[in-house]
Amino acid sequence: MAFASKSPWVIHYDASSCNGCDIEVLATLCPGFDGERFGVINTGNPKHADIFLVTGSVNERNISVIKEIYDQMLEPKVVVACGICACSGGIFHDCYNVIGGVDKAIPVDVYAPGCAVRPEAIIDAIVEGVAVLDQKSKALKEQKKGAK
């Protein structure tokens, strides 16, 4: 068993959403849903985080920021697109400045659609992401063994 699944630390980045999904992400981490039951901690630091929660669509201004945060995170890492804007661009998909969903910038592992995405859906997505995290952690271990 990998320990990655026991303590998924998240980092949250608001790309360009209307803030609806951000409020839901924070609501997920509040006492009502108590993400810490599963070891979820909201870190403000990509270097400590395992799961990258992105809300909102990608545009020309923030694509470099998203890539930078993703690059600063250490393996194993998982990206969760929270809300329909982060999944596909949502109602803003044909705006002149919008590139599209988060997967236009970085590889996304779990999609959590919704407008705004419900806390239950986010928890579901994080649990799904934790399973991916476990797989990646195992793969990394194999790789380390192979290197030796």
Partner 1 sequence: MTLISTLIGTLVFAVLAPVLGCLLAGLDRIVSARMQGRVGPPVLQPYYDVRKLLEKEDASVNSVEKTYIICALAFALISGGIFFSGGNLLLCVFMITLSSLFFIVAAYSSRSPYAEIGAHRETLQVMAYEPMVLLFAIAFFVAVGSFDTAAVLNLREPAIASIWLVFLGLLYVLTIKLRKSPFDLSMSHHAHQEIVRGITTEMSGPTLALVEITHWVENVLFLGWIGLFFVWGNPLSIVLALAVMVVVYFLEVFIDNNFARVKWQLMLKSAWIVALVCGTINLAILVF
Binding site for partner 1 (CB under 8 A): 2-4, 6-7, 9, 31, 34, 36-39, 41-45, 47-48, 50, 74-76, 137, 140-141
| Least separation in angstroms between CB 72 and partner 1 | 9
From CA 18, how far away is CA 104, in angstroms rounded? 19
| Least separation in angstroms between CB 42 and partner 1 | 6
Q: HEC states along the chain?
A: CCHHHHCCEEEEEECCCCCHHHHHHHHHHCCCCCHHHHCCEECCCCCCCCEEEEECCEECCCHHHHHHHHHHCCCCCEEEEECHHHHHCHHHCCCCCEEECHHHCCCCCEEECCCCCCHHHHHHHHHHHHHHHHHHHHHHHHHHHHHC
| Least separation in angstroms between CB 134 and partner 1 | 11
Q: CB-wise, 36 or 61, nearer to partner 1?
A: 36
| Least separation in angstroms between CB 90 and partner 1 | 28
Q: CB-wise, 17 or 137, nearer to partner 1?
A: 137
| Least separation in angstroms between CB 121 and partner 1 | 21
